[in-house]
Structure 1
Amino acid sequence: MAAPGEAGRRVSWIELYFDLVFVFAVSQVAHVMVEHPDGRGVVAALGLFVTLWWTWIGYVILYNRYGEDSAAQRLFMLAGTIPCAIAATQAHVVSDVHLGGLALALAGARVVLAVAFPATSGQGHGAGRAAGLGYAVSAAIFAVSAVVPAPVNYVLWGVALAQEAGFLLLAQARQRRRSGDRTGRRRRPDRRELLAPPAEPGLAVNAPHLAERFNLFMIILLGEIVISVASAAVDAHGHEAGLRVGFLAGLVLAGALWWIYFDSSAGINEFVLRASGGNPAMAYGIYAGGHVPPAFGLLLIAAGVNLSLHDAPPTAATWFVSAGLAAYMVGTRGFTLGVERRWYARLLRTLVVVATVCLALLHRVVSAPTVVVLVAVWAVAVAALVTVRGPVVMRHLREHPLRFFADR
């Protein structure tokens, strides 16, 4: 199978403006982990990130499927920036009990989507109405969560996000799983179905546009590492050589992470989504759901590098950096695709991930900035492997797109 010659829209200026809101939002997520460098802070930051992530996904899919850069579309996007900006300003209270303002802001963002999807769906009016109804339900759930105590409010958030994933990108896959044979048994899903265009054209995603939108968001997250490194360097009271080396290592680490993603993973992801004809379940697996680990991994790294350059870095700092890199490596998967499905290959990849996490143990014998240096060296080695492996992987995928699932 060859990727179809799909003509794709470019990301519009209004979308770039909308994403500026989330520049601040993701910085708030990283700030939560800097202020609370412990397990509770990480869990709170992850929950906040996933919630904001799916809010952003809703607007991405809206413009991807129905965006024509018309005045109406622009007004809906501008209207969405208001509740999303309010949610971003409320992110700092995620570790406290006062989440009512954040919940109401998230509900408001979904009210805009509930109106925008059916109003702009055009020929895909069926899918647009379904999405509008789903977001109306989701908005009601978030509004109710503003007045109920923890942990009920978190459960309600999880229910709302799960049903959003269902009607946005997983509706067709869920319907196929439920379809059974004449005996009524559910049919086991076939991976080849993920490379088939959706039966309803209104459900298809525009692969080039979606890929570019996520690529730009990854740039935002990589920029958070650069900002964190620079901020820590400015705030440092001393000018020790270790801090200067750690600052430079943080920049090298950010560059290596950029290389790992854009030299291999970005092109592979777009190719496979193109080959599927814009299959929404594939879009979920690669982007909406599949990008959560590497995206949050970048925020972990940003928080960890920032903490590592403090005068008295906490123990969690180096763990944030190493665990974030491991999550990023697993999520991008650019250097593992196309490898034969053999037990020793899987074992080797597992050992590499474990070794990456265990780099944090080096803080017992060297300083935290030195650990950042060693992690940066490790990331550069992975980037070199991506450079060597990338062309081979793409050749295999062009011949057999199902190789994308070889390691899954």
Structure 2
Amino acid sequence: MKNFLQPPRLRIGEDSEEHRHATWLELFYDLVFVVAVSQLAHNLEEDVSLSGYLGFVFLFIPVWWSWIGTTMYANRFDSDDIGRRLLVALQMLTAAALAVNIHHGLDENAPGFALSYALGRAVLIVEYIRAGIHIPSARPLTTRYATGFAIAAVFWLISAFVSAPWRFVLWSVGIIIDLVTPFTATKFQLNLLPHASHLPERFGLFTIIVLGEAIIAVVDGVSEQKWDVFSVIAAVFGLVIAFSLWWVYFDNLGGTPIQKARAEGKVSTVATWLYTHLPLVIGIAGAGVGVEEVLLSEQTVALSDAGRWLLCGSIALCYLALGILHRLGVIRYCKIRSKYRVGTTVAVIAIAIFGKDLLPVAVIGFVAVTCVIQVVQDLYQSRPTTRLVDPEI
């Protein structure tokens, strides 16, 4: 901490954008979301069904948006002083409360979940108001954000005192307002685009958090099963899937969306990058639970429909999101890679449709092969000779 008290400062702009890494405080803050993602996965493990998956997604969105809110604020206005540290500590408390209330978050713990989310947004609103006071050039943006997030927070606060199903109607309205608020401030964002090196790193760190759940799923699944050849092979396939997803995501990650938005004068590129990460991380988290479901299944009996669709549907969602990111040039622009990602989406869905009689190890094996093909294709396309002759890279 360089100063005891200092106002928020503008951390972005072409003239001030030195290479920037996540701070120790940001990394410490992320630890709460490791727990939250773990709790979300635990909820899905208890109810592997369509309704269970929809509930998982419904709770995942506000958790993810809580992390996004703090991350986007820090990207633009971070300062290392006692006031900022105390505000982050409050945000960690609200995020921890959110994680505590995820279990039965759609039942008896729903009021606690709603209150935790609303309080977290209140802290973020205070931060934006504080930034607007000290940075006049950012005031139109911070005012718009503070107003939109405050309206959404009111809906969440009221929902804590209303019974279902109206509680969830208020949640839906609140989260829609939250998600739409940045679009109401697009004309103010162009001169305040996120930091080109810091934000991709932060998104990458959250992706690591959900990939970590896939690793935990393999460990938990193996530890709770009697070891046999099929179980060990299935566990290896689970690690292969996680490693392949890591490979194709991080090999294509960079600051291109922000640089492209700055060059073209379009904020939509950054918005596409941000919002397409939601299905990506949901898919990765769901895939982790799907892998554990495979490992906990009887290896000599066909995998259940629910388990097969959870694993295949989640992986398909990941590659569909990656295909969109490639095609729009939000991550490495490449039509060929986009086609391969979408092709894998179709292939994995086909496994879910036609793999009804397959053993668990066969299902996860076929999925792992489709993931490895993506890595091989990227390696092949990255050869120096390919880069020189292929106009679509």
Pairwise TM-score range, normalised by the shorter structure: 0.7 to 0.9
Match of 2:103 among 89, 92, 117: 92
Find out whether 1:271 has 2:285 as its counterpart: no
Q: Is the 8 A contact 1:208 1:274 kept in 2?
A: no
1:274 alignment partner, SS class: helix
Tell me the equivalent position of 1:330.
Answer: 320
Find out whether 1:126 has 2:147 as its counterpart: no
Q: Is the 8 A contact 2:101 2:109 kept in 1?
A: no
Q: Is the 8 A contact 1:204 1:279 kept in 2?
A: no
Q: Cα 1:335–1:359, aligned 2, differ >3 Å: closer, same or farther? A: farther
* Residue identity in the other structure for 2:292: N
Tell me the equivalent position of 1:26.
Answer: 37
Tell me the equivalent position of 2:364.
Answer: 372
Q: Cα 1:316–1:170, aligned 2, differ >3 Å: closer, same or farther? A: same
* Offset at residue 95 of structure 1 (A): 4.2
Find out whether 1:154 has 2:168 as its counterpart: yes
How big is each residue's C-alpha offset from its partner over 1:61-117, in whole Å with a ceiling of 9 and x where there is no partner?
110111022322222111100011011111111343541111111111111111111
* Residue identity in the other structure for 1:318: R
What is the alpha-carbon distance in structure 1 between the residues aligned to residue 344 and residue 164 of structure 2?
38
Q: Cα 1:275–1:350, aligned 2, differ >3 Å: closer, same or farther? A: closer
Find out whether 1:319 has 2:333 as its counterpart: no
Find out whether 1:215 has 2:215 as its counterpart: no
Tell me the equivalent position of 2:243.
Answer: 255
Tell me the equivalent position of 2:268.
Answer: 281
* Offset at residue 358 of structure 1 (A): 2.0
Tell me the equivalent position of 1:47.
Answer: 58
Tell me the equivalent position of 1:232.
Answer: 221
Match of 1:291 among 254, 263, 277: 277
Any stretches of 5+ residues in structure 2 without a counterpart?
1-13, 328-332
1:302 alignment partner, SS class: helix
Q: Is the 8 A contact 2:144 2:184 kept in 1?
A: no
Count how many residue pairs are aligned between Structure 1 and Structure 2. Answer: 360
Q: Is the 8 A contact 1:145 1:156 kept in 2?
A: yes
> Taking structure 2 as the reference length, what is the TM-score of the superposition?
0.84
Alignment of 1:107-126 (within 5 A): 107-121=118-132, 122-123=134-135, 124-126=138-140
1:246 alignment partner, SS class: helix
* Residue identity in the other structure for 1:383: V
What is the alpha-carbon distance in structure 1 between the residues aligned to residue 179 and residue 356 of structure 2?
43
> Taking structure 1 as the reference length, what is the TM-score of the superposition?
0.81
Q: Cα 1:332–1:130, aligned 2, differ >3 Å: closer, same or farther? A: same
2:296 alignment partner, SS class: coil
* Offset at residue 212 of structure 1 (A): 0.7
What is the alpha-carbon distance in structure 1 between the residues aligned to residue 267 and residue 99 of structure 2?
28
Q: Cα 1:314–1:257, aligned 2, differ >3 Å: closer, same or farther? A: same
Tell me the equivalent position of 2:4.
Answer: none
Q: Is the 8 A contact 2:290 2:308 kept in 1?
A: yes
Tell me the equivalent position of 1:69.
Answer: 80
What is the alpha-carbon distance in structure 1 between the residues aligned to residue 207 and residue 168 of structure 2?
27
Higher relative contact order (CA 8 A, sep 6+): 1
* Residue identity in the other structure for 2:249: Y
Q: Is the 8 A contact 2:308 2:352 kept in 1?
A: yes
How big is each residue's C-alpha offset from its partner over 1:142-189, in whole Å with a ceiling of 9 and x where there is no partner?
11011112232222222222222333x31244x6xxxxxxxxxxxxxx
Tell me the equivalent position of 1:192.
Answer: none
Q: Is the 8 A contact 1:37 1:314 kept in 2?
A: no
Q: Is the 8 A contact 2:152 2:174 kept in 1?
A: yes
2:48 alignment partner, SS class: coil
Superposed CA RMSD? 2.7
Find out whether 1:144 has 2:131 as its counterpart: no
What is the alpha-carbon distance in structure 1 between the residues aligned to residue 84 and residue 335 of structure 2?
43
* Residue identity in the other structure for 2:305: T
1:27 alignment partner, SS class: helix
Q: Is the 8 A contact 1:118 1:131 kept in 2?
A: no
* Offset at residue 280 of structure 1 (A): 4.6
What is the alpha-carbon distance in structure 1 between the residues aligned to residue 174 and residue 313 of structure 2?
28
Q: Cα 1:331–1:141, aligned 2, differ >3 Å: closer, same or farther? A: same
Q: Is the 8 A contact 2:260 2:269 kept in 1?
A: no
Q: Is the 8 A contact 1:45 1:94 kept in 2?
A: no
Q: Is the 8 A contact 2:257 2:270 kept in 1?
A: no
